[in-house]
Amino acid sequence: DAGVIQSPRHEVTEMGQEVTLRCKPISGHDYLFWYRQTMMRGLELLIYFNNNVPIDDSGMPEDRFSAKMPNASFSTLKIQPSEPRDSAVYFCASVIGTEETQYFGPGTRLLVL
Amino acid sequence: KQEVTQIPAALSVPEGENLVLNCSFTDSAIYNLQWFRQDPGKGLTSLLLIQSSQREQTSGRLNASLDKSSGRSTLYIAASQPGDSATYLCAVCGSARQLTFGSGTQLTVLP
């Protein structure tokens, strides 16, 4: 199994631009989580899905952030417009409902100038 | 709101030492507790998962304990090696499977 796949691995953009982060969970996993990691705030849960349905988006910082999961094998996290304070590493993780260990992707390192 | 604290924030030890990393949490109504390892620039790797009904879990040189009533967990690493150098993260899992992470302990094992 290839594990959780995230793209791009690195993204540099200018303030005001739209950013789209992508995640492919492990096949068969029915939960998908988006996290953000910064030096100041550590790892924070942004949103998670169960069977492609958003369950809790209370961690999404602002309306500039949105996430979708159109099917079981793909999810996006979009920031529009981006701001320098959005600079962070964004992780995607998945888990199968019968187990409990979350499997993390390698992360997308985002820098907004 | 669940809060997770890890002490110490950083730790440097000579190779071969046994060491303990500490994690505390404020809400004892947890589903499980997980310890992760994160190498620089990499994702997280799960090390151990302790169910809320368990007291400890072991994997090789790692042993994690859980005292839910007092809101504490420890990760014990025996006979540390330079390859153990990484950041260790404690995460508490709520009933809806969401993880709340501590800020981590950055471990350096000196050869």
A54 close contact with B: CB closer than 8 A: no
CB B30 within 8 A of CB B94: yes
DSSP per residue, A75-106: EEEEESS--GGG-EEEEEEEE-TT----EE--
Residue whose token pair is 């690493």: B77
Q: Report residue A80's pLDDT band, with 50, 70 and 90 as the boundaries.
A: very high
Name the minimum distance, in Å, from the CA of B103 to any CA of chain A. Answer: 5
- B36 neighbourhood in chain A, CB within 8 Å: 104
How does pLDDT run across A36-70, given as a tens digit for each residue?
999 899 999 999 999 999 999 999 988 999 999 99
Residue A8 bridge partners (DSSP): none
How does pLDDT run across B36-76, given as a tens digit for each residue?
999 988 889 999 999 999 999 999 999 999 999 999 999 99
Residue whose token pair is 């942004």: A46
Which one of B36, B45, B101 has the shortest CB-CB distance to A42? B101
Output the pLDDT for position A1.
65
Output the pLDDT for position B22.
97
Tell me whether residues A56 and B49 touch, CB distance under 8 A.
no
